[in-house]
């Protein structure tokens, strides 16, 4: 397999696909009915648009690259050495309640690591794209992480998961607050990572995430000059949950001071 050709062919395809997926998501958002959603579990929202966008993406990938595996939030799948990861609407609660802070996420992974990522914010008509080794872009313009120098100057997001105990969450939050950080939660892990890549936020942490929520954003952060954690790091990891940490470079070591298991940063690119 020619890795370079494999990635380049899919990069061209992904740039077109993410726009069509964003258009589908925006149409669903603009035409939704109030209260038109269901719950897969406590605080776990599902809308018709989630399914419509994921089916569109899955169908297009299957036609173009039938040999590739697909793992989607809504329709599942089994990852392999070449895997597309899909979150059709990240921030579904926001979407369902009419808050325009949500995104469409698509990533392409080789051997468990993202090499291509695209995240669309349909309402703002913005598309973020990254290819391993080629930088991070917003609507074709390069983006970079912030130059914030210390945690007492930092604004960051901290996601919450029902898989983690309240005490664990509070322990991490306590450390961050004691260091003087300003903490937010806006309801989309994908956009939280985008904001780190773009320098609007200085870091993002979540103690347990699915791969479809984070692999695309983590590649964007790396390519924008930031640092991210080691998970996910294998094909098997893509089907599991794990801890996510992403940071602008100057506060990275301080962020690691939370001392939570497996929340260690890779070296800079």
Q: Is 90 annotated as a binding residue?
A: yes
Gap between the Cα atoms of 88 and 73, Å rounded: 7
Q: Is 237 annotated as a binding residue?
A: no
Q: Is 140 annotated as a binding residue?
A: no
CB 18 within 8 A of CB 118: yes
Q: Is 213 annotated as a binding residue?
A: yes
Gap between the Cα atoms of 231 and 237, Å rounded: 7
Query: What dihedral angle (degrees, nearest 10) is formed by the CA atoms of 253, 186, 90, 200?
Result: -50
CB 267 within 8 A of CB 260: no
**3-state class (DSSP) for residue 171:** helix
Q: Is 89 annotated as a binding residue?
A: yes
The residue behind tokens 């008509």 is 125
CB 121 within 8 A of CB 175: no
List, as residue ranges, the binding site for Mg(2+).
73, 87, 89-90, 213
List, as residue ranges, the binding site.
73, 87, 89-90, 213
């Amino acid at each position: 397999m020619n890795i370079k050709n494999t990635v380049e062919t899919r990069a061209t395809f992904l740039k077109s696909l993410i726009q069509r997926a964003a258009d589908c998501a925006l149409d669903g958002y603009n035409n939704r009915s109030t209260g038109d959603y269901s719950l897969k579990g406590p605080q776990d929202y599902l809308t018709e648009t989630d399914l419509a966008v994921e089916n569109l993406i899955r169908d297009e990938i299957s036609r173009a690259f039938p040999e590739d595996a697909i793992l989607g939030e809504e329709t599942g799948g089994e990852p392999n050495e070449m895997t597309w990861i899909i979150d059709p609407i990240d921030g579904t609660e926001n979407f369902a309640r009419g808050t325009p802070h949500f995104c469409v996420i698509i990533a392409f992974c080789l051997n468990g690591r993202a090499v291509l990522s695209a995240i669309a914010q349909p309402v703002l008509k913005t598309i973020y794209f990254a290819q391993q080794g080629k930088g991070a872009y917003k609507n074709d313009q390069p983006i970079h992480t912030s130059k914030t120098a210390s945690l007492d100057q930092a604004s960051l997001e901290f996601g919450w998961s029902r898989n983690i105990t309240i005490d664990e969450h509070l322990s991490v939050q306590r450390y961050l607050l004691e260091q003087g950080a300003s903490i937010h939660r806006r309801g989309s892990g994908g956009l939280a990572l985008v904001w780190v890549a773009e320098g609007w936020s200085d870091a993002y942490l979540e103690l347990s995430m699915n791969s479809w929520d984070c692999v695309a954003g983590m590649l964007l952060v790396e390519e924008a000059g930031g640092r991210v954690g080691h998970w996910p790091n294998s094909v098997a990891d893509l089907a599991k949950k794990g801890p996510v940490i992403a940071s602008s470079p100057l506060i990275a070591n301080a962020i690691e001071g939370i001392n939570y298991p497996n929340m260690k940063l890779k070296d800079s690119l």
